[in-house]
A and B are shown apart, each in its own frame.
Chain A
Amino acid sequence: DAKTTQPPSMDCAEGRAANLPCNHSTISGNEYVYWYRQIHSQGPQYIIHGLKNNETNEMASLIITEDRKSSTLILPHATLRDTAVYYCIVRAVNRDDKIIFGKGTRLHILP
């Protein structure tokens, strides 16, 4: 089973920051937080991952709480092309590790 809890859907106005929350209260010390997204009719796409420090790349920022029990993915200036299902995944990186997708958050960017 997925180890994360996300709201089923969210709306965000175009041009505004989209903040997607994720709860992972049972996360272990060797588990990372990953985010993927799936735009309609496409395969999932990796966005970002982190262990305990905040991370930023060209797509998004990842904020992880100090106790690591929750995190927030931030899309700083959402566009219509960011409309997708966003999956928060907890994953240990070892030899036989697997990605287990939860139900995700369906993000609608409104014009």
Chain B
Amino acid sequence: DTEVTQTPKHLVMGMTNKKSLKCEQHMGHRAMYWYKQKAKKPPELMFVYSYEKLSINESVPSRFSPECPNSSLLNLHLHALQPEDSALYLCASSQGTGAWEQFFGPGTRLTVL
């Protein structure tokens, strides 16, 4: 299984809502990533987890809260988001942070009203 799955595919939320994005991989990878991608822009790194510990936070606002409950699962908890946070949120995984290849999921398209 060389797939990274993300749920939900689409999410619409209000600025006062709390929601979570979920990412899962069963490739035994020990590094997992969250990226944010605005329309017609390249993906931008948000967080890196290595061996279930947060190793990189790219100065992301605290309204985004990542969580890695186990080596296969990565969550992104969302609270009090702004309309400008609307974007495609991509999850990726790799064997380690220095691995050649990152495997990306299809993303969750988030709309904040």
Please report A residues at the B interface, Cβ cutoff 8 Å: 2, 34, 38, 41-46, 49, 87, 93-104
Contact = CB atoms under 8 A, between A and B. Distances in A.
Nearest to A47: B101
Contacts of B43: 38, 44, 101
Instruction: For the complex of A and B, list the 4 residue pairs with the smallest distance between their C-beta atoms, beginning with the closest.
Output: A43-B104, A101-B42, A46-B101, A93-B98
Interface string B48-84: 1000000110000000000000000000000000000
Given A44-B90, A97-B97, A104-B42, 4 more contacts: A94-B98, A96-B55, A98-B48, A99-B45
Contacts, number: 49
Interface in B17-59: 41-45, 48, 55-56
Contacts of A49: 100
B42 A43 contact: no
Interface residues of B, number: 21
28 contacts: A2-B42, A41-B106, A42-B104, A43-B4, A43-B90, A43-B104, A43-B105, A43-B106, A44-B102, A44-B104, A46-B100, A46-B101, A46-B102, A46-B103, A87-B42, A93-B98, A93-B100, A95-B97, A95-B98, A96-B55, A96-B56, A97-B97, A98-B45, A98-B56, A99-B45, A99-B102, A101-B42, A103-B42
